[in-house]
Structure 1
Amino acid sequence: MDDDYFDYESTIDLNRKVALITGANSGLGLETSKVLAQKGATVIMACRNLKKAAKAKNEIIEDLPDAKIEIMPLDLSSRRSIEEFVPKVEKKYDTIDFLVNNAGIMMPPLDLQYEDVESQLAVNYLSHFLLTSLLFPMIENAPEGRIIQLSSIAHRWGDTRWNYYNSKSTYDKKKAYGQSKLACLMFAYELQRRLSRSRSHVKSYAAHPGASSTNLFQYVSPIQRPFIRLLERFLFQDAEDGSMPTLRALLDPYLNPGSFVGPDGFKELKGEPTVVDSSRISKDPVAALKLWEWTEKKLNTTFDLEEWNE
Structure 2
Amino acid sequence: MVRMNQIKTQNGRVFLITGANSGLGYETSKFLLEKGATVIMCCRDLFKGEKAKQKLLKFNSSGKIELVELDLSDLKNVKKAVNFIKKKFDNLDVLINNAGIMAPPKTYSKQGFEIQFAVNHLAHMSLTMELLPMLKDKSNSRVVTVTSGVQYFGKIQWNDLQGNLKYDRWASYAQSKLANVMFGLELNSILKESNSPTSSLLAHPGFARTNLQPKSVEANQSWQEEIAYKLMNPMFQSAKMGALPQIAAATLTSAKGGEQYGPKFNFRGWPKICRNAPEALKKSSRKRLWDISEKLIKNV
In structure 1, give the amino acid aligned to 2:243: S
Q: Secondary structure at the match of 2:224?
A: coil
The 5-angstrom pairing of residues 8-47 of structure 1 reads: 8-47=4-43
Q: Secondary structure at the match of 1:156?
A: helix
In structure 1, give the amino acid aligned to 2:216: Y
> Alignment length, in residue pairs?
294
Query: Is 253-262 or 98-107 further displaced after alignment?
Result: 253-262
Moved over 4 A (4+): none
Aligned to 1:278: 276
Stretches of structure 2 lacking an aligned partner (at least 5 in a row): none
Task: Give the C-alpha shift of residue 115 in structure 1.
Answer: 3.9
| Contact 2:163 2:172 (8 Å CA) reproduced | no
In structure 2, give the amino acid aligned to 1:254: S
Q: Secondary structure at the match of 1:43?
A: strand
In structure 1, give the amino acid aligned to 2:224: I
* Cα deviations by residue, 1:165-219 (Å, 9 ceiling, x for unpaired): 5346500000000000000011111111111111111011000000110111112
Measure the CA separation in 2 of the matches of 1:12 and 1:94.
Answer: 23
Q: Secondary structure at the match of 1:224?
A: helix
Task: Give the C-alpha shift of residue 54 in structure 1.
Answer: 1.2
Asked whether 1:198 is paired with 2:199, we answer no
Aligned to 2:288: 290
Normalised by the length of structure 2, the TM-score is: 0.94
Task: Give the C-alpha shift of residue 225 in structure 1.
Answer: 1.1
* Cα deviations by residue, 1:218-249 (Å, 9 ceiling, x for unpaired): 122233213202312x1110100000100110
In structure 2, give the amino acid aligned to 1:253: T
Aligned to 1:84: 80
| Contact 2:202 2:261 (8 Å CA) reproduced | yes
* Cα deviations by residue, 1:99-152 (Å, 9 ceiling, x for unpaired): 000000000111122644211011000000000000010011222211000111
Asked whether 1:263 is paired with 2:260, we answer no
Measure the CA separation in 2 of the matches of 1:279 and 1:120.
Answer: 19
The 5-angstrom pairing of residues 123-142 of structure 1 reads: 123-142=119-138
Asked whether 1:222 is paired with 2:223, we answer yes
Normalised by the length of structure 1, the TM-score is: 0.91
Q: 1:74 aligns with which of 70, 75, 93?
A: 70
Q: Secondary structure at the match of 2:201?
A: strand
In structure 2, give the amino acid aligned to 1:262: G
Q: 1:175 aligns with which of 161, 164, 171?
A: 171
Measure the CA separation in 2 of the matches of 1:26 and 1:163.
Answer: 35
* Cα deviations by residue, 1:257-305 (Å, 9 ceiling, x for unpaired): 210110111xx1101101111332111111000011111111127xxxx
Measure the CA separation in 1 of the matches of 2:110 and 2:284.
Answer: 25
Measure the CA separation in 2 of the matches of 1:16 and 1:33.
Answer: 15
Aligned residues with identical type, % of pairs: 37
Query: Is 252-261 or 180-189 further displaced after alignment?
Result: 252-261
Measure the CA separation in 2 of the matches of 1:82 and 1:257.
Answer: 25
In structure 2, give the amino acid aligned to 1:159: K
Measure the CA separation in 1 of the matches of 2:257 and 2:134.
Answer: 19
| Contact 1:117 1:163 (8 Å CA) reproduced | no
| Contact 2:3 2:270 (8 Å CA) reproduced | no
In structure 2, give the amino acid aligned to 1:74: L
Measure the CA separation in 2 of the matches of 1:121 and 1:208.
Answer: 17
| Contact 1:165 1:171 (8 Å CA) reproduced | no
> Against the structure 1 CA distance between its residues 183 and 206, is the aligned structure 2 distance closer, same or farther, given a 3 Å change threshold?
same
Stretches of structure 1 lacking an aligned partner (at least 5 in a row): 302-310
Aligned to 1:304: none
